[in-house]
């Protein structure tokens, strides 16, 4: 098997790109964890500050709590996607569409580092789920 210089450069660039993306993903993970802890403190403060109030105030507090829960759920889902992306990097599967096994363009991964499908498969999946 003949190895060309372009093959060596491509492997090196891929490793450099993977290292960069892993740092980005770890940074995103740390940010989300920090936000979730801050939200939990805000949630605890909200509950502790509840005084006997009229029904409208209690309903507003309940809406605030539900909003915090939804935000946390969204962040937890994003955290799972990030952790899966880090795992795919460690298993040499990062940047490969889970649906069609084609390479996901680096531009897409830079925009959405935890993307696990190429644009075509993602679009098709979203159409199916409407």
| CATH assignment of the domain containing 27 | 1.20.120.910
Q: Are residues 78 and 99 in the same domain?
A: no
Q: Are residues 36 and 59 in the same domain?
A: yes
Q: Are residues 89 and 125 in the same domain?
A: no
Residue 71 has pLDDT above 70, yes or no: no
In the chain, the percentage of residues whose pLDDT exceeds 70 is 63
Comparing 60 with 91, the larger pLDDT belongs to 91
Q: Are residues 100 and 88 in the same domain?
A: no
Comparing 69 with 99, the larger pLDDT belongs to 99
Q: Are residues 90 and 40 in the same domain?
A: yes
Range(s) of the domain holding residue 16:
5-94
Q: Are residues 84 and 116 in the same domain?
A: no
Residue 88 has pLDDT above 80, yes or no: yes
Mean pLDDT of the chain: 77
Q: Are residues 88 and 105 in the same domain?
A: no
Distance between CA atoms of residues 21 and 89, nearest Å: 9
Q: What pLDDT, on the 0 to 100 scale, is given for residue 130?
A: 85
- Pick the closest to residue 113 from 11, 15, 26 (CA basis): 26
Q: Are residues 64 and 28 in the same domain?
A: yes
Q: Are residues 56 and 102 in the same domain?
A: no
Q: Are residues 90 and 103 in the same domain?
A: no
Q: What pLDDT, on the 0 to 100 scale, is given for residue 33?
A: 79
Q: What pLDDT, on the 0 to 100 scale, is given for residue 55?
A: 44
pTM given for the model: 0.68
């Amino acid at each position: 098997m003949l190895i060309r210089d372009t093959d060596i450069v491509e492997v090196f660039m891929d490793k450099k790109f993977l290292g960069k993306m892993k740092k980005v993903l770890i940074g995103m993970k740390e940010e989300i964890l920090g936000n979730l802890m801050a939200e939990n403190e805000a949630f605890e403060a909200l509950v502790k500050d509840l005084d006997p109030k009229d029904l409208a105030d209690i309903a507003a507090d309940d809406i605030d709590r539900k909003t915090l829960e939804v935000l946390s759920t969204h962040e937890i889902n994003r955290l799972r996607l990030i952790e899966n992306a880090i795992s795919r990097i460690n298993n040499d599967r990062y940047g490969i569409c889970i649906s069609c096994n084609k390479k996901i363009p680096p531009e897409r991964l830079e925009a959405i580092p935890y993307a696990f499908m190429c644009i075509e498969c993602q679009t098709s999946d979203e159409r199916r789920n409407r």
